[in-house]
Amino acid sequence: MTPHREAPSGKAPLAITMGDACGIGPEIIAMAFRGEAAAGAFVLGDVDVMRRAVRQTGGLQAVAVIERPADALALPPGCIGVLPVVQLPDSLPQGQIDARAGAAAHDCIRRACELALAGQVAALVTAPIHKEALSAAGIAFPGHTEMLQAYANGPEGPPVRMMLANDELKTVLVTIHMSLRQAIERVDFDNVLQTLRIVHRSARLWGQPAPRIAVAGLNPHAGEGGLFGDEELRVIGPAIEAACAEGIAASGPYAPDTVFMRARNTLDHPGEFDVVVAMYHDQGLIPVKYLGVERGVNVTLGLPFIRTSPDHGTAFDLAGSGRADPSSLVSAIEMARRLAAAA
């Protein structure tokens, strides 16, 4: 008889959304279930899609339909429990943008938020979605972060922020999925200060109740005293001062081309900072991804539950080949467990 397995937090299983069915999400999930990483987890998605993913990756795992999250805890090791949320046609193409896959990915995320808010799951791990597929399905959200904020916190609820992290570097973004021109306009006093507050509150989850927060400038050389732009003087600097007055250990603004190196923490190079606040998407994500996409994890800060995801996309060029690397998803699952245990 298979022993009952404890959930990641000891009280509820871990939920994994299927992601875009035309991408590699189902395949990397299937591969993650071969090891211990996904023990006590289940998938929200399509049963037939997950069975196809098992075949494509050369696995032998059983895929079982479950009726409620807690049922996942009674499944034998390696068995993939699927809570059916959607049913996609067998003819759905892989490696292509498809509105049906975008709509299904959205529905799985929305259902996962409902379960998380009801306390039925310990944490949420999301497989990659495709922004164009969401748009083709008429879904207005540009990505996971905005969708999660709307469904978990409400349109007028607390703000959230995106953090990308590995074992050497953590970066949190002031602005996320928007054009660079729009992002620059959104770098204002309130958004910078709000980000610093969220980072300070959230850091206890990874064992740093008083994190050393470095703030990157927006402009080259952090503006060089106003020679290359004055946002550092008008906006970012005053926000840092306001945060410090609240007891937040923030400093900067620092030159963006060096602050990430200073914060990188390795055995032979202890980081000067615990986390870097970046002003826009690529400024913060490129340094972490350069250290290894397979190691990076996306964490949404400010939600009433834990949410992580791999730091890569749907990889349509690999979909259906069985050659996708599940390492980032495994890292996301492991981080979700740790954060849920500390919550």
The rounded average pLDDT for each run of 10 residues, N- to C-terminus, in the chain (343 residues) is: 37 95 97 92 98 94 96 94 96 95 97 96 97 95 90 87 94 94 96 97 92 97 92 97 98 97 94 97 94 86 96 94 94 94 85
Domains, the chain, with CATH or none: 1-158+302-343 (3.40.718.10), 167-291 (3.40.718.10)
Question: Judging by DSSP bridges, how do beta strands 14-17 and 123-126 pair with one another?
Answer: parallel
Instruction: Give the position of tokens 């591969």.
Output: 31
End-to-end CA distance of the chain: 32
pLDDT score of 11: 76
DSSP state of 140: -
By the 8 A CB rule, do 85 and 122 touch? no
Tokens standing for 72?
């996942």
**Residue closest to 126 by CA, chosen among 275, 277, 312, 320:** 312
3-state secondary structure of 30: helix
pTM over 0.85? The answer is yes
pLDDT score of 3: 34
- Burial class from Cβ neighbours inside 10 Å (0-12, 13-18, 19+) for residue 267 reads exposed
pLDDT score of 82: 98
**Residue closest to 259 by CA, chosen among 196, 203, 214, 289:** 214
42 vs 232: CA distance, rounded Å: 46
By the 8 A CB rule, do 275 and 171 touch? yes
pLDDT score of 105: 97
- Burial class from Cβ neighbours inside 10 Å (0-12, 13-18, 19+) for residue 2 reads exposed
